[in-house]
Structure 1
């Protein structure tokens, strides 16, 4: 019964000293909002990046020749078996059989030093020519600014059409010209421009993504005069949860296509793009640790402020404490009252801090990139526990000081 009475007295004291409660709660609210806000923003940004990576193939896998570029595989200083490159026929056969499971794309980097021409204009000999199919743009998350994608018929019959990057458009065409349905020359062969890729940018001075031209993979295979092209395949799982299962099926299909014997090792490599997402999670973990550390330091400052205000409160209420002790209140009950008061102030400030932190965190995350509204239930629970702990730590010293006051001296205090 005494505990319930103490709770009532603590709440009553909070109501009576409303301005002090608001100011003290504001200190805690700022600390909690910085903690929750930073962690919410990090989770929100991570969710947006993860969604972007999903479009870039975070739930996909790549199949390429063993050793990446064909030839001999060297392990532990020993030269092992030579594996033939994945041919165009093998890649397309895999794609056809894998269609019953999910979608895939077959592509080939033809050259990185090509020169494109249009009339008297020409590009520098640093243009990238790549062969791809109708699924390449969607699986590789490349968007078109203008025009259209390859049709299945154009890919099947190797029609002389091309999708060009922004830098090529600026080099070969005037700003007022529409490149769509215009002719350009690649390796001395005329191609009709059917699409313009959106600006992709690059790292440092490397703007290669904007100076590339994409042609149908069947058409690109005709440029392989020496039979050295090494085709690559990217498959996408029908469901992220089935990625490992469908990778196993892809291995079985590719072994059949490559005619690998039962006891023979795979003559190709299969890598999971999920490693990108795993790296993202690792980086997000470090960011959370940093955000938690900065928020905790802010909250530590808030707890010191709360302790200072509670110490002032003890001094102001010395006579009240003396009256309580004279009426039979034990040091334990006095400590309880001040601890409960500190916890109540922390919880009130913490609730406002959580609401403010969630709002700030989502605003920051959406400012960086549009996304949904994130409610971090885990961080809300953690911050609520932190509020109680901060109240206990910040209120204990003032509560202990109050419980040790001499009742006679307290009654004399003015």
Structure 2
């Protein structure tokens, strides 16, 4: 008997026990939905993060007085070094001779209230001081107005560039350019408005006010702020060279002895993403474990159904053996039946998993994802579960004595 005939008989048997088959397939579908859904969601998260960090400049690195601050569980808090002063940052910018663009920035406040007339924002506006390269270093684009001029940077003028959320709150029906806002006790003129950016690692470019670097000194809540230096390299091929030269230069500026360790941290732009990617593996392992546990339960249920099916079809097996079917043919028929049930549930589960994962992906602003690798892996897993669950019942059916089987019932 060929495989086509076996598949036809398997489908006939499935149709005769539709409810039982559907319940078993549903259990398998739930297992694969959890598995494919979680893996698709993680793939969407990775893509979203990669795009977010790419927009900030893939070929760049930052110099700070501490590490990134990302900790998993009870990981150690990064050791802070003494603050990078305005003078340190400016000296580095002036003396850096490599083919790179340098941007200096500093956080002035993480919870400011911005006012315009009788309107005001919530006290959650980030105020950041930047230089003429600050917007580019953070992947920010202007939707209206202009960037800071060199003279405004040098003089610390009372001008600012605001995020989209600030504009919507204070200037919903009017042009914000050249309007005055109050940040603390300081009056600032808006010269630029940023495109909508969204949030990234807890910071929202839409809920921010950018001021010239020197102006940030007056607005700063911290008496001893630490400045951040961002170095944008034209090509990844010279990244390590620029990092090496920058390290040597900044060690000299910070007066680090030849035998002393760095009292600052250099972090590549994708280091945070790579750290999070590493820890997403644990989430993936948990998701796979949940899916596998559900599939194990489904396989036990399928095995039970197949054993019941063997008992119910004992006389049918006896008739087929009597007319010439050998044990191999009987065993193959029941194995194919188990695999078909698994594939039915698997197809539905994979579809639901892709839908679930993409709903989360699209809600995060990502693109539609078709995880071909997970789809192929899911179907392969279905075949494996079908064979594993159906082998014993198929073997039991193939060993039935045809005479005893014919006398059954």
Q: Which residue of the partner structure matches residue 370 of structure 1?
A: 365
Q: How does 1:35-46 map to 2 (within 5 A)?
A: 35-46=35-46
What stretches of structure 1 of length at least 5 have no aligned partner? 69-81
SS of 2:266 mapped into structure 1: strand
Q: Which residue of the partner structure matches residue 194 of structure 1?
A: 191
Q: Which residue of the partner structure matches residue 163 of structure 1?
A: 161
From the CA coordinates, give the structure whose radius of gyration is larger: 1
SS of 2:132 mapped into structure 1: coil
Query: Post-superposition shift, 1:407?
Result: 1.3
Matched-pair contact (CA < 8 Å) for 2:40–2:358: no
SS of 2:129 mapped into structure 1: strand
Number of matched pairs: 390
Seen in structure 2, the aligned counterparts of structure 1 residues 177 and 376 have a Cα distance that, compared at 3 Å, is closer
1:412 matches 2:374: no
Q: Which residue of the partner structure matches residue 270 of structure 1?
A: 266
Q: How does 1:193-272 map to 2 (within 5 A)?
A: 193-196=190-193, 213-220=209-216, 230-238=226-234, 244=240, 246-255=242-251, 265-266=261-262, 268-272=264-268
* Equivalent of 1:108 in 106, 110, 113: 106
Q: Which residue of the partner structure matches residue 177 of structure 2?
A: 180
Seen in structure 2, the aligned counterparts of structure 1 residues 190 and 292 have a Cα distance that, compared at 3 Å, is closer
Q: How does 1:82-101 map to 2 (within 5 A)?
A: 86=84, 88=86, 90-92=88-90, 94-95=92-93, 101=99
- Per-residue deviation, residues 14-38 of structure 1 (Å, max 9, x unmatched): 2434625876374344543442233
What stretches of structure 2 of length at least 5 have no aligned partner? 69-80
Q: Which residue of the partner structure matches residue 291 of structure 2?
A: 295
SS of 2:61 mapped into structure 1: strand
Query: Post-superposition shift, 1:106?
Result: 0.3
Seen in structure 2, the aligned counterparts of structure 1 residues 10 and 233 have a Cα distance that, compared at 3 Å, is same
Matched-pair contact (CA < 8 Å) for 2:32–2:291: yes
Q: Which residue of the partner structure matches residue 302 of structure 2?
A: 306
Matched-pair contact (CA < 8 Å) for 1:35–1:357: no
Matched-pair contact (CA < 8 Å) for 1:6–1:336: no
Larger deviation: 143-152 or 118-127?
118-127
Cα root mean square deviation, aligned: 4.7
Seen in structure 2, the aligned counterparts of structure 1 residues 112 and 16 have a Cα distance that, compared at 3 Å, is closer
Q: Structure 1: how far apart are the matches of 2:123 and 2:284?
A: 45
SS of 1:134 mapped into structure 2: coil
Q: Which residue of the partner structure matches residue 131 of structure 1?
A: 129
Query: Post-superposition shift, 1:312?
Result: 3.9
Query: Post-superposition shift, 1:162?
Result: 1.7
Matched-pair contact (CA < 8 Å) for 2:197–2:204: no
Q: Structure 2: how far apart are the matches of 1:45 and 1:125?
A: 30
Query: Post-superposition shift, 1:336?
Result: 3.4
Q: Structure 2: how far apart are the matches of 1:323 and 1:54?
A: 68
SS of 1:194 mapped into structure 2: strand
Q: Which residue of the partner structure matches residue 78 of structure 1?
A: none
Q: Which residue of the partner structure matches residue 140 of structure 1?
A: 138
